[in-house]
Chain A
Amino acid sequence: MSVSGGKNIMVYVETVSQSPVSGALEVLSKAHKLAADRGEKVIAVLIGMDLEEAARTSILAGADQAIMVKRETYDMEVFGEVLTKLAEKYRPSLILSAGTLAGKDIMPMVACRLHTGCAVDVMDITETDGQLVFTCPVYGGTVLNQLIITGTPAIGVVRSGAFAKELISERTGEILEEKVETEDTNRLKIIDVVKEMAEAVNLEEAEVIVSGGRGMGSLENFKLVEQLAEACHGVVGATRPAIEAEWVPRSHQVGQSGKIVAPKLYIACGISGATQHVSGMIGSGYIVAINKDEDAPVFDIADVGIVGDAVKVIPLLIEEIKRISSR
């Protein structure tokens, strides 16, 4: 069944340990602005257990209404069906979600069931002549497509860091629970969930990221990146070559095939600046690059570039930072 001539913006708010993921709050804040311009409402949808607190946070981030749907465990098909049914009931003109793995899983399914289109990796949403225009990167981010979705509702999966989250404590809204019947097809049975990392690497929410690339040269040298990250209270990032050399687990990967990040400070150590990596960090507030090759493209985007061997530069940088922060 298709939903046509919709109104309002529905946002799927993914939660981890009963808290909304940062990307979802960013999307809510953008949705709030879009809805205000259009005279519409923002409807947050949360699926899980004990989500009242998360629903309140969603209101603060920009939702006018937060719908909670009870489900014990994550199941892509069930979650997709819940969203599809709510979309059929509430008839939004736009459905958004954060660009997490789950968001990228569920939204295409909803789009398929509603016979509409889903834009992914959305970097911006604007309104022109009453139409929503989505900006999406192609070819690894070297080219941007601005497109409209002809089907209704339009569906968008938003790149993390694309929009700023604004939690405003005065905001109020309605929190309600919906019972949505879903078919338990059980086509895919989850047998086990394995956490490989002691704690999730939260690159998307980090204010400081220190990344290392091929130029670090060895596993031993890569430890310097970790030490610098520690000195700046930042999170460790890496390029694909560093991941493939197994200097650091894949969850640390920044770039087209890893995480898209936008910290306040990004320090790139021994990173040449290939598009695949740069497209994942270009949104950073301030970029520092350390590379011994003075012609490395990373210097074209850095606010401060230090031409020198990262292995020699980093220890001195750590000392300087410690000296300054101890003042």
Chain B
Amino acid sequence: MELLVCIKQVPDDSVEISLDPVSKTPALQGVTPVVNAFDTYALEMAARLKEAHGGEITVVSIGGEDVKNSLKNCLAVGADNAYLVKEEAAFSHDPAGIAKTLKKAIGEIEKDRGKPFDLIFCGKESTDYASSQVGLFLGEESSLPVAANVISVEPVEGGIKLKQETEEGYRVMEAALPCVVTIQKPNYDPRYPTIKSKMAARKKEITELSPIENLESQFKVLQILEPPKRAAGVKIKGDNIQEAVTEAMSVMTKARIF
């Protein structure tokens, strides 16, 4: 199967991003750029699919030169080819703009490689903006079936069978190919790049693609704020746990909690 995984580079989500007190914008300096966690799950799922059923994995991202490093990281954990839509202002695009750019890129990559994609993976959301819409828009824009929150995919006669997470469990669905899926964390972790695979990935070429000019966004950010701080209450400590619990209970009963 020909697999495409759409990749977004985001600031390391294990770092708490605060607002810069002077510029009033998120303070991102010094935060390591990483591949969006949900995209890494998507890539791992694609890699397992490839290992079981053959095919090739292509990754595509939108952004500046620095995104190439993230794409190389993808090449070290299962991707065979990488493309970058060179667009410094990628962060200012709304989900529709990103989806349109991806659609154009997909057409160009398919032409470049001489074969169409069967399955297009996105993460279910990004850890920075978490709009959870790009995959859905991409499906709509391309008139392809699209399923969100997918936790497994498996090829079947005439298409794929997939599991979609629901509030109470999951749905089993079938779709004809090509198809777009957005990936929720499955019950396994993405692999680590090995010393060897990373060294090999570093030597691979990343093909550049051109962006769409003058995309308009449907959103206008008026203001960026920090959430109101919640004031700390009482902290009870002591060597005697029983006394601490009794004291805590008396605070809570006074507050009419119990």
Contact = CB atoms under 8 A, between A and B. Distances in A.
A and B touch in the complex (CB under 8 A): yes
Interface of A: 100-101, 104-105, 108-109, 111-113, 115-121, 133, 135, 137-151, 187-197, 200, 251, 256-257, 265, 275-276, 279, 282, 286-288, 294, 299-309, 312-313, 316-317, 320-321, 324-325
Contacts of A320: 245-246, 249
B218 A112 contact: no
A146 B225 contact: yes
Interface stretch (B79-87, B133-141, B206-214): B133-141
A143 B226 contact: yes
Contact of B11 (A105, A139, A299, A317): A139
B237 A144 contact: no
A146 to B, nearest CB: 4
B140 A109 contact: yes
A120 B221 contact: no
A118 B134 CA distance: 11
A178 B147 CA distance: 27
B54 to A, nearest CB: 25
Given A196-B170, A313-B244, A188 B224 contact: no
Given A119-B219, A143-B17, A324 B226 contact: no
A197 B170 CA distance: 10
Contact of A150 (B148, B161, B219, B257): B219
Nearest to B252: A304
A142 B249 contact: no
Given A137-B130, A191-B161, A196-B169, 6 more contacts: A187-B176, A286-B257, A301-B230, A304-B236, A307-B244, A313-B244
B52 interface: no
Nearest to A292: B237
Contact of A100 (B144, B146, B167, B175): B167
B166 interface: yes
Contact of B169 (A113, A193, A313): A193
Nearest to B185: A257
Interface of B: 11, 13, 16-19, 26, 94-96, 99, 127-133, 136-137, 140-141, 144-149, 161, 165-176, 185, 217-227, 230, 232-238, 241-242, 244-246, 248-249, 251-253, 255, 257-258
Contacts of A113: 140
Given A108-B133, A282-B230, A325-B258, A313 B253 contact: no
B225 A195 contact: no
B230 A191 contact: no
A108 B248 contact: no
Nearest to A120: B131
Contacts of B95: 108, 118
A305 B235 contact: yes
Contacts of A116: 218
A187 B174 CA distance: 8
Contacts of B99: 112
B140 A149 contact: no
Contacts of B233: 287, 302-305
A296 to B, nearest CB: 10
Contacts of B225: 135, 143-146
Given A104-B132, A313-B245, A321 B258 contact: yes
A301 B232 contact: yes
A135 B191 CA distance: 36
A138 B223 CA distance: 13
Given A187-B145, A257-B185, A324 B258 contact: yes
Contact of B16 (A149, A275, A300, A321): A275
A279 to B, nearest CB: 8
Contact of B220 (A148, A200, A305): A148
Given A112-B96, A313-B241, A188 B175 contact: yes
A308 B244 contact: yes
B17 A139 contact: yes
A275 B16 CA distance: 7
A143 B140 contact: no
A200 B169 CA distance: 9
Contact of A105 (B17, B136, B145, B224): B136
B22 to A, nearest CB: 15
A214 B234 CA distance: 23
Nearest to B132: A104
B35 to A, nearest CB: 16
Contacts of B251: 304
B232 A300 contact: yes
A115 B234 CA distance: 50
